[in-house]
Amino acid sequence: MEDHVAAVAALAEPTRRRLYDHVVRQSAPVTRDEAAAAVGVPRGTTAFHLDRLVADGLLDVHYERRTGRSGPGAGRPAKLYRRAACTVGVSLPERRYDLAGDLLAGALQEAEASGESPRTVLGRRAHARGRELGRAVGRALGGRDAVLAVLEEHGFEPRVEDGGVTLANCPFHALAGEYTDLVCGMNLRLLDGVLAGIDGTGLTARLAPAPGVCCVRLEPSPPA
């Protein structure tokens, strides 16, 4: 999120935004000189802003000899700018429709191939993804600290309350409002998987719909 906010903030500077818009609208990468001429900005200023856009992940750079010559005397390759391959987006509160879309599309494709119920496949895939997320963080942290780290990273805004964890934000808010049973069930299985991937959490994921918070709450596990 911090990287995405920084990238979006970089475009608040008017000259930088004009240069970015020019680069991404071209069919081929552009040089500093081409960008400077198109936008009417001095080359030094253009270079500064283009390189800032590269540093913030909005543009990529590669080098190419445009003369078509090679070897001694061919000159230095030109530094060329083009749109970065990554996607930058900021949503407050944070939404993770990319994660939901990946799980839903993967479940539909698998269900068509296997003949299983799409809902059953979705639950299995969501649990497996949650376990992966939990294990990845659980190698560095343990117990509830690892759980909170995963929840923070994926936009759930966890709050430790009454021995459990309330999720103040639903990363799938619009989808959950439209397809409540399906998406909340997916979310429950995802968070079940997170807990399964981390040792010693002492927590259990349960559906507990309430106004203004996620439909899932993590509650203390009952005594064994």
Residues 90-146 have pLDDT tens digits of: 677 889 999 999 999 999 999 999 999 999 999 999 999 999 999 999 888 878 999
Domain residue limits, the chain = 2-83, 97-220
Q: How far apart are CA 206 and CA 176, in angstroms?
A: 16
Q: How far apart are CA 162 and CA 4, in angstroms?
A: 33
**Residue bearing tokens 């071209």:** 26
Give the SS3 label for residue 31: strand
39, two tokens: 């936008």
Q: How far apart are CA 36 and CA 42, in angstroms?
A: 6
Fold of 97-220: Muramoyl-pentapeptide Carboxypeptidase; domain 2 (3.30.1380)
Q: How many CB atoms lie within 10 A of CB 78?
A: 17
| CATH architecture, domain defined by 2-83 | Orthogonal Bundle (1.10)
Among 106, 127, 96, residue whose Cα is nearest residue 205: 127
Q: What is the pTM of this model?
A: 0.77
